[in-house]
Amino acid sequence: MTGDDAWAGLEAQVQSWIEDDPDPQTAQELRDLLDMARAAPPTIAPGREPDPTQRQALDARTAARDELADRFSGLLQFGTAGLRGRLGGGPHRMNRAVVIRAASGLADYLLGELDGVQPRPRVVIGYDARHKSIDFARDSAAVLTAVGIDVLVLPSALPTPVLAFAVRHLDADAGIMVTASHNPPQDNGYKVYLGGRVVTDSGQGAQIVPPADAAIAAEIAHVPSVASVPRAANGWTVLGPEVLDAYVASVVALAPTDDATRAAAKRLRIVLTPLHGVGGDVAQRVLAEAGFTDVLVVPEQAEPDGDFPSVAFPNPEEPGAIDLAIGLASDEGADLVIALDPDADRCGVGIQDLRHRSFRGPDTAEAEGWRILHGDETGSLLGARLAGTAPQNGAAFASSIVSSRLLGKIAAAAGYRHAQTLTGFKWISRVDGLVFGYEEALGYCVDPAHVRDKDGISAALLVAGLAARLKAEGRTVVDALDDLAREHGLHLTDQVSARFADLSQIGETVHRIRSRPPKSLAGSRVTEVVDLATGSEDDRDGLPPTEGLRLLTADGSRVIVRPSGTEPKVKCYLEVVVPLDPAADHKAVGRARHDARTRLDAVAADVRSALGI
């Protein structure tokens, strides 16, 4: 096919999509691109270079054609993460046309799964405060209602954990959450949960996994056009405050009840940031009802704002994202920082660790020792906190394959089974007998009976409760981390990642280390290399195949290399372990942390070299 033929085909595709687009804004956006792409090229004399005006016209025409080619490179893929992508017109973007097709496909899937079963399917829908979220929620409600599905819509922009709670609380057969979580402001997404009569095992109320994702995607692919999808003008139910009240009550029930801790809770000063998301009001309410009344909210980040004006990436893990919170904590003499991501399903925790003070830089909060706990540190603290809270027979702790091995040791010492899963809470939340699950990317499930997903708000309450109990004892979170190191060995984790503009380089980078793995890391011989993509039966974890590689060294260090499931990155998860005497004093633990950091930095350097990044 010639270039002209390819353009003619793309031009026809774009025009057809515009005619079927229900959103005047995205339809006009595509018309403007089409006009630029159709512009006749400027006349340039033979043998002459284009002048600046001509070059600008040529570049604009080429850019418009490239942009349209990308937007029409296929329908945005529906998978185990649902939908997620950049806002804009066209099938490869998040927009009302794509969402209407997705809702129609989900409706057909539910009607097929529950064919002949009464009462009719029930779906609950939630949304956050990102651009277009409420529009996508209303379109979904209109599509589902039109085919006879009972639709319940949350009353306002609320956190993802509230929607996950509502799926189980309302015995819904499915749930839809319109959110892109911690993605940049130009993105949005569409998470799907299954429960009720569709999923009845331990995954009831969790996000979709195969084969449901493929079955829904197949139904979406069968939708011929937006015009063919019926949409009701009304008929769905907008819920009142009852579901949110029930969620808050379920979380507050996790609060400490002993007198000493409750008294300390009133004296615990907490700085909270919702990072311009929807978790601020709910988190403040939960903390207040649980007895934590000294809570300071970062004013610049308090209100929901889909532009996320104060941060480049609204993710507590990203450098600089919670600098304002750390600064406020330093200024106000706070005990604890809690940072929620925009849909409040992740929780970052900041503490003052005097061993991290540095006098080489300016007089900043970081120089005073304030730091964010790694997700593995928070996950281990919560695991230790929850050990003993449930019957041990059949009860399980769970963590993803890229999370620290420390939770497995904590579980074994407490008499619990420990399960490793693939990354993502769609897998963690499905573990039979789950009591607690986490992954290192700041995701924690502390109450799986009510929320089969990560929940930043309930995790925040448990962290606050732990800090209050320690304060009552005259101790700190740092002391609790040291206790875990003495009992199980000092586990230190970190991450090396590389972001790629060219997605083909991701596979090439993973293949490079698969074909030529390093012989040693930080001077310790590599003793085991496991290709996670083979899913071999002798793999000790018994996991299904997944893209990635695991390396173990003679000194117990571990590296896992895998492509990110949500970002254009290759991520490398590093862990070193330093044995400690159970009677080690504070200085000995500090030296062990320094030694572990030195070794971890050396591992990171060797990994970067092996990956060529």
Q: Which residues are catalytic?
A: 181
Count Cβ neighbours within 10 Å for each residue of 252-288 and write b for 16 or more, e otherwise.
bebbbeeeebbebbeebebbbbbbbbbbbbbbbbbbe
The one-character DSSP state at 82 is B
Contacts of 133 (CB under 8 A, 6+ apart): 127, 157, 178, 179, 188, 306
**What is the rounded CA–CA span in Å between residue 403 and residue 536?**
21
**What is the rounded CA–CA span in Å between residue 556 and residue 468?**
34
Taking each helix axis from N to C end, the angle separating 504-515 and 586-611, rounded to the nearest 10 degrees, works out to 110
Taking each helix axis from N to C end, the angle separating 259-267 and 456-472, rounded to the nearest 10 degrees, works out to 100
For β-strands 150-153 and 187-194, DSSP reports them as unpaired
Of the candidates 439, 437, 440, 459, the one whose C-alpha atom is nearest the C-alpha of residue 448 is 437
For β-strands 443-445 and 558-563, DSSP reports them as unpaired
The partner residues of 125 in beta bridges, in order of sequence, read 153, 176
The answer to whether the beta carbons of residues 278 and 253 sit under 8 Å apart is: no
Residue 361 is which amino acid? G
The answer to whether the beta carbons of residues 125 and 154 sit under 8 Å apart is: yes
CA–centroid distance for 576 within its chain: 25
CB count, 10 Å around CB of 249? Answer: 12
Of the candidates 478, 469, 477, 476, the one whose C-alpha atom is nearest the C-alpha of residue 290 is 469
Contacts of 443 (CB under 8 A, 6+ apart): 345, 346, 375, 425, 454
The answer to whether the beta carbons of residues 483 and 402 sit under 8 Å apart is: no
**What is the rounded CA–CA span in Å between residue 199 and residue 192?**
13
The answer to whether the beta carbons of residues 372 and 271 sit under 8 Å apart is: no
Of the candidates 243, 83, 251, 216, the one whose C-alpha atom is nearest the C-alpha of residue 152 is 243
Residue 316 is which amino acid? P
Contacts of 544 (CB under 8 A, 6+ apart): 422, 535
Query: ∠199-213-395 over CA atoms, to 5°?
Result: 45
Q: CB burial class (10 A; 0-12, 13-18, 19+) of residue 227?
A: exposed
